[in-house]
Structure 1
Amino acid sequence: MGKFVVKTRKDGEFQFNLKAGNGQVILNSEGYKTKANCLNGIESVKRNAQDNDKFERKTSTNGKHYFNLKATNGQVIGTSEMYESASGMENGIESVKSNAPDATIEDLD
């Protein structure tokens, strides 16, 4: 089962990572000024992860693939790692879909 890990960044902002059951990070958040906003971001991931249309598939300038998960308002709530192939990226999306809804929250702050 997946888990969200909440931590404080060096700049004092809060961030979460979604980790798959094997411990691999599959989604990173932006920085949030408050922990409450960070936790709201986690809830937004849980709500939006089942909607395939909320995943924006992208290719970086170096040819690697990644995706953003967007909220209903269009704001990016999470970004994936870089993948060598489009199929790897699609596997990452499926991992977010399967891990996010029931993921626990581990607060390292």
Structure 2
Amino acid sequence: MAGESVGYIVLTGIVEEEDGQFASYCRELGTASCGDTISEALDNLGEAIELNIEGLEEVGELERTLQDRNIRIERNPPKQDGVDVNVPLGQLIKIYSVPVPLIASAV
């Protein structure tokens, strides 16, 4: 993204315990990971999201994928003063703010 205008997308990471491990996934992108702890599962998911975004950008599919999944690109990083979320028992949610190229359709 060097030299490109940057926008931001906001994604949610969800963690659930499964068979002694913690499974993490991002519904918006369909990206998933896991870890031995909640923290590890969320960190691994964050890395998987970044790799997914980079891969989509490399093959020229980022704009189409974001549009198809109704993921909005914001011009400014989101303010994260606090978020109230109701989640099912046994789940944890983390919000990810991911920098992406500011594509023409987002302007």
Bin of the TM-score, shorter chain as denominator length: 0.3 to 0.5
- Rg larger in 1 or in 2? 2
TM-score normalised by the chain length of structure 1: 0.39
TM-score normalised by the chain length of structure 2: 0.40
Instruction: Using CA pairs under 8 Å that are at least 6 residues apart, name the structure with larger relative contact order, 1 or 2.
Output: 2
